[in-house]
Structure 1
Amino acid sequence: MIEKRWTHKPSFAEEQQQLAFGLTQSLNISLPLAMLLVQRGIYDFEQSRQFFRPEIGHLHDPYLMKDMDKAVKRLSDAILAGEKILVYGDYDVDGTTSVALFYGFIKKYHANLDYYIPDRYEEGYGVSWQSLDYAEQNGFTLIVTLDCGIKSVDKVAAAKERGIDFIICDHHRPGNELPPAVAALDPKREDCAYPYKELTGCGVGFKLLQAFCQEHNIDELALFEYLDLVVVSIASDIVPITGENRVLAYYGLKQLNASPRTGIKALMQIAGLNGVLDITNCVFGIGPRINAAGRIKHAREAVKLLLCEDDEEAADFALEINKHNTDRRTFDSNMTEQALFMIENDAWLSSAKSTVLFREDWHKGVIGIVASRCIEKYHRPTIILTQSHGKAAGSARSVPGFDVYEAIEECADLLEQYGGHTFAAGLTLPLDNLEAFKTRFNEIVSSKILPDQLIPVIDIDMPLDLEHISPKFYNILRQMGPFGPGNMTPVFESRNVMLAGKPVIMKEKHIKFDVKQQNSSIFTAVGFGLARFFPDLVNGKPFSICYSLEENTFRDKKTLQLSLKDIRIHHVPEQQTA
């Protein structure tokens, strides 16, 4: 087990301390809570109001996005002329929620509409040649892509020759050349001045629909009913929950908790999500099941579920999805075991700065999950590859601070295609290039990655004495959500704490104990995967803990408990004898 590195936010300068003291007065909150706000760039009452109470009015004008006017005009012209429009999306959660959003909304105003999701295994990521054939054969003259298309230069050019126009809604980094689309909406375009760069594909589609509503005087409240789809995309695509994403996520969670669409409601029920949903529930409860829906037969089924309006039909489909999700977990577990065995039994791999593994029989649908599992044990950039149509196809995952997309891009001459983000990417290459790619990728990682980036990090917001924790403290803390990248759940460190009872090991891996500090109340602490600390704890050694706060409900009684991230035993030097 790699020992984790505890990192702390910088100490407050005098100016920051004064800002925090000012917030304690204006907001009537404790100093630790005020310090958390200052750490997040919240310095005064007005900023605090916007942070705690995001408003739809805080969303940016969609027309600030490059090509938005062209996109709205082409979409409007197509609807007015009765053209056949094809809504095209990727097969992952962001892509399928995007298609459900766009198709579901535009269907109210235009009947001549269909959607297309490429086959994960037959067509792969992005705009496919098969889809162009389908569009031409069925008389579609406009394709709107969501969560893909910004790098499909050759496909869009070929479509143009066939009389098919493209509107692209994407959020991935463009290549050196943009596709010859009527409009290419992507806040990551270098020539795009849109103020917020981190929207999901679904978020970009939402902005196009927002502009469409403004153009045609449609009440945007009708569009906001689709924010449950947008928040699922934000959570599942692991984008920062800051700025505009924070507003969309805030109202998306409200929609999800108050009135989720039929298909998502069925997924919530089958996943046992009965309480108030947050980003974590979306990431681990809803997102994987939407992905599983796409793996039952075809990702088109995921969109069908998200558009479903019949409770009974949705419930039946959710049951089928849950079974498939269980099967996916079995694949995931077996493949992870094989991958870890390969690393442990290869001297070069064990000491490398990166992991690149290939097996021709691995299931393409879960290789990204397996890459993440490998990082949990070997904290380094990881690529898991399998054979698909005579090629090696894979998923890459990274560690905090290292841009895996850039590293892959430096191997572009060995690849057939690639795309993605800083921390996650996909790639395809000829089987003959595998060994050269492994070597090159490891050389690039080795030359760029910092030693600290190879050690798992726990980012601690601040030290906290347990006496500060109270129901009021937690209630205000909870309102700092939605939590996620860019606004993570606060993590605290409490030093020199004491046991207030004997620890208990649960399922051989986890630990639970009561803890106190000086004159504080007693709190229950739960540490998943931390049972190895049991011997030192029962020996009475002093220790520190880092944790986040959560509310535990048992028999209708709510109590605050500490969700442990790590434990640090203070090893006291033995007394020397004369």
Structure 2
Amino acid sequence: MRSAPPALLPQPSEQRWQLPAPVQIDPQLRSSGLCDPLLAVLQRRGYGDPEAIAALLEPAPAPDPRRHFPDLGKAVQRLRLACKQGERLAICGDYDADGMTSTALLVGVLRHLGAQPQAEIPSRLDDGYGLNTGMVERLAEEGIRLLVTVDNGVAAREALLRAEALEMDVVVTDHHTLPEELPPLMALLHPACTPEHSPYRGLAGVGLAYVLAMALARNCRSEQGLAMARDLFCIGTIADMAPLQGVNRRWLIDGLPGLKRSGLAGLQALQQVAGLEDAPVDAGAVGFQIAPRINAVGRLGDPQLVVDLLTTADEKEALELARQCEQLNRQRRDLCDAIEAEARALVDADGDQRSPFLLLAQSHWHHGVIGIVAARLVDAFGLPVALLASEGDGRLRASVRAPRGFAVDAALQACSDLLERHGGHPAAGGFTVRAEQITALHERLNARAETWLQQQGGLRLVEPEALVQLQEITPQFWQQLQRLEPFGSGHPAPLFWSSRCRISQQRLLRGGHLQLTLRQGDAVIRAIAWRWGNDEQQLPKEVDVAFQLRLNRWNGTEQLQLEIAALRASSGDGLVLERCNRRYWVSREGDALVIRNAAGEELRGLPDPMGGCAVNSDHPQGTHPYVQALLQDAAMAMGLAA
């Protein structure tokens, strides 16, 4: 099994490779049992001592949450009363995968403990995000006196003021930015309320729901349903791309192995419709197979479908609901493909006059999927993108995505006087704008994007983390790489690179994917470049490849393959290296390096198996720090150093 195809590959002419600074592997780190390329990755990520690596491989158990969440005790006592009295209450969630799994988690656990919870999730199209006053008033009329929000609530000031006026108790669990002044509430569970270095700081909404469910179950001396709650924690945390650090990492390591045999009928049904019956359910399978089917419902359908799916014990009902998720996911794919085709046609129509900030609008585009398409266009063009669809009354609503380095939230804030509403974070955001302001908005965003592009040199950055020779890619290397999982936000799968790989075969596959057979010495391996395009250009005979390593499962066989993120013509036997505004000509004679400066002076060195570069002792400046750094940079650039 493989993950979903990565971004459309930048062509070699569009790339700027930035190789990592060489590192000397600390011999003490080898006590971890990891090979040097993986240790180089970890050392560059800040894991510079054996204790830090040990904590990554085997995180500490989660500490007592009562010492980290000041309001947890109040929330548990109120919910315990609801369970004891069989009280009706509402779990008010959100329509993304995090919000829907959070809602299902608390609904399931509270039912087990005796309460009568009901899910309340607003419609993406009709209601927008979060708790609203209309929902509060309707629930109060139905006799509900207790609300628990999940994955929302801290920004719902008007709704919470209305709940206070109606004498409703509200427990808010949310991980979005806290306002300067909190709205009225009974209890708040929020990562920002924990101590500064708390391992709970990275929790998504589903993680906060899990903390609350565990504390409540233990207070009630009944842990019934917590195993299934942990399954939902894993799904929601990965789907929301929460940072895989702290308790997130600990609980995922504990929980992911159990997903395959989950007691949730709905999760078993999702595995079936996703074709995962014979494949492991790891973080990749959750992120690229299960989560999209859940998210599709929130984008196009009724989120109650997902809550029902993830709380039912009826296998037949679960399969029927999972098939509805599958149908919506196919509809989502078709919509995305159609909108992407229209958007690309609009971009192509501009020809060489393409804007540095792609702002595209069509009234009929679906709000639920334009964010996905915007992300695809970022991958295709390497530019920030906003897609707009009509909201009625002369307003348009947009989803914004951007490459790394372009801060969406800062850009929108700089245009706030032109917008009716906006929000987001550095990589993504959204806004609402009146039609008559679009031209001025686009001009301002273009100016900001133009400045950013000039700083980037107009090229997409490729940043490999460690050099790996093809002969090193063995089952043992794969097993060691697996020890670093789960991968995700804050701890991505490593991007390796290998130099001077000879292409012995290339074939363009249906769908525009490029399959290569690479040779390096006696080593041979297959590589795939997803979404390469339909250009059958003949590649150079020797290339440098940046890649992630995958285990491809097909027809009962397993084979390691490279998933190429970028490639470029190999430097061969020579390249030009610039350092401190000086130019050097680097060549290789066998495994030896030869560096010449503009004056024709020559420096020779040999690669150090420890990752550096040893200099011939007869050179008078061989031990100078500048010369040592120059040789290390040259060795890295020529593919001779880790």
Shift of 1:203: 1.1
Aligned to 2:612: none
Aligned to 1:521: 523
Higher normalized helix content (fraction of residues): 1
Q: Distance in 1 between matches of 2:193 and 2:392?
A: 32
* Cα deviations by residue, 1:97-143 (Å, 9 ceiling, x for unpaired): 01001111111123332110101111111112331122111111121
Aligned to 1:471: 475
Task: Tell me the SS of whatever aligns to 2:463.
Answer: strand
Q: Distance in 2 between matches of 1:450 and 1:69?
A: 53
Shift in alpha-carbon separation, 1:73–1:398, aligned structure 2, 3 A: farther
Indicate the larger mover: 99-108 or 438-447: 438-447
Shift in alpha-carbon separation, 1:87–1:450, aligned structure 2, 3 A: farther
Q: Distance in 1 between matches of 2:562 and 2:514?
A: 12
TM-score, structure 2 normalization:
0.80
Aligned to 1:387: 390
| Residue type at the aligned position of 1:27 | S
| Residue type at the aligned position of 2:532 | L
Shift of 1:304: 0.9
Shift of 1:79: 4.0
Aligned to 1:323: 327
- Asked whether the 8 Å contact 1:40–1:487 carries over to 2, the reply is no
Aligned to 1:50: 55
Report 1:188-203 matches (<5 A). Answer: 188=192, 194-203=198-207
**Residue number among 372, 375, 388 corresponding to 2:375 in the alignment:** 372
**Residue number among 306, 312, 316 corresponding to 2:310 in the alignment:** 306
Shift of 1:51: 2.5
Aligned to 2:557: 557
Aligned to 2:545: 545
Could you tell me the percent identity over the aligned residues?
29
Aligned to 1:422: 426
| Residue type at the aligned position of 1:30 | C
- Asked whether the 8 Å contact 2:104–2:307 carries over to 1, the reply is yes
Aligned to 2:288: 284
Uncovered stretches (5+) of structure 1, i.e. residues with no partner: none
- Asked whether the 8 Å contact 1:343–1:349 carries over to 2, the reply is no
Task: Tell me the SS of whatever aligns to 2:271.
Answer: helix
Shift in alpha-carbon separation, 1:573–1:462, aligned structure 2, 3 A: closer
- Asked whether the 8 Å contact 1:379–1:454 carries over to 2, the reply is no
Shift in alpha-carbon separation, 1:364–1:382, aligned structure 2, 3 A: same
2:127 is the alignment partner of 1:116: no
- Coordinate RMSD, CA, aligned: 2.9
- Asked whether the 8 Å contact 1:503–1:534 carries over to 2, the reply is no
| Residue type at the aligned position of 1:312 | K
* Cα deviations by residue, 1:247-293 (Å, 9 ceiling, x for unpaired): 23223322212325211221111111231122222222111211223
| Residue type at the aligned position of 2:265 | T
Q: Distance in 1 between matches of 2:353 and 2:191?
A: 38
Aligned to 1:238: 241
Task: Tell me the SS of whatever aligns to 2:112.
Answer: coil
Report 1:77-476 matches (<5 A). Answer: 77-80=81-84, 83-188=87-192, 194-219=198-223, 222-259=225-262, 261-273=264-276, 274-294=278-298, 297-346=301-350, 350-352=354-356, 354-390=357-393, 391-443=395-447, 451-452=455-456, 455-476=459-480
Between the two structures, name the one with larger relative contact order (CA 8 Å, sep ≥ 6).
2
Aligned to 1:505: 508
- Asked whether the 8 Å contact 2:305–2:321 carries over to 1, the reply is no
- Asked whether the 8 Å contact 2:97–2:298 carries over to 1, the reply is no
Rg bigger for which structure?
2
Uncovered stretches (5+) of structure 2, i.e. residues with no partner: 1-9, 575-642
Report 1:526-537 matches (<5 A). Answer: 526-530=528-532, 535-537=537-539
* Cα deviations by residue, 1:550-569 (Å, 9 ceiling, x for unpaired): 22234433222222222211
Aligned to 1:22: 28
Q: Distance in 2 between matches of 1:94 and 1:29?
A: 34
Q: Distance in 1 between matches of 2:88 and 2:412?
A: 38
Shift of 1:162: 1.5
Q: Distance in 1 between matches of 2:56 and 2:194?
A: 29
Shift in alpha-carbon separation, 1:216–1:409, aligned structure 2, 3 A: farther
- Asked whether the 8 Å contact 2:265–2:310 carries over to 1, the reply is yes
Task: Tell me the SS of whatever aligns to 1:302.
Answer: helix
Shift in alpha-carbon separation, 1:234–1:546, aligned structure 2, 3 A: same
2:39 is the alignment partner of 1:34: yes
- Asked whether the 8 Å contact 2:384–2:403 carries over to 1, the reply is yes
What is the number of equivalent residue pairs in this alignment?
A: 561
Aligned to 1:4: 15
* Cα deviations by residue, 1:58-104 (Å, 9 ceiling, x for unpaired): 45635413433333333334445554311000111111001001111
- Asked whether the 8 Å contact 1:401–1:453 carries over to 2, the reply is no
* Cα deviations by residue, 1:17-63 (Å, 9 ceiling, x for unpaired): 22xx2222x234432233233334434555444322346x2456354
